[in-house]
Amino acid sequence: MKKVICSSKAPAAIGPYSQAVEANGFVFVSGQLPIDASTGEMPETVEAQTRQSLENIKHILEEAGLSMGHIVKTTVYLAEMSSFAAMNKVYATYFEGECPARAAFAVKDLPKGALVEIECIAVR
């Protein structure tokens, strides 16, 4: 059985997908663009975009009754691999102790011209 999770504090899905879906104790959070749900705006720098994407994930997980500490895997999509160090510096501030597994790579383009997009899997 699956349950759709949606937070008004994160940007609404811009296509035929859910912000997150829970199944068998796992919460699969769709890729989060760095859009501020209250303004619809996206910050300019990769640092600010990383922070916003992670805040969006945090809000979605909170809606499911979870925290960032429940994340077991993330995938980070970057518009340019040269942004890795800047992204990583901000990313590190969101995880304490045992960090989740992660993949990070550059892609040709991201929706809406974003510099970063982050998805994750969390477990109860």
Q: Is 79 helix (H, G, I), strand (E, B) or coil?
A: coil
Q: Can you give the pLDDT at residue 56?
A: 98
CA distance 80 to 96: 26
* High-pLDDT (> 90) share of the chain, %: 95
CATH no. for residue 117? 3.30.1330.40
| Position 34, amino acid | P
Tens digits of per-residue pLDDT, 10-66?
999 888 999 999 999 999 999 999 999 999 999 999 999 999 999 999 999 999 999
Kindly give, in sequence order, each residue whose CB lies less than 8 Å from that of residue 50, ignoring residues fewer than 6 positions away: 34, 86, 87, 90, 91, 116, 118
Task: Kindly state the helix (H) or strand (E) to which residue 90 belongs, with its residue range.
Answer: helix 84-92
Q: What is the residue range of 83's domain? A: 2-123
pLDDT higher than threshold 90 for residue 96: no
Supply the pTM of this predicted model.
0.96
Q: How many domains does the chain have?
A: 1
- State the average pLDDT for the chain: 97
> How many CB atoms are closer than 10 A to CB 43?
17
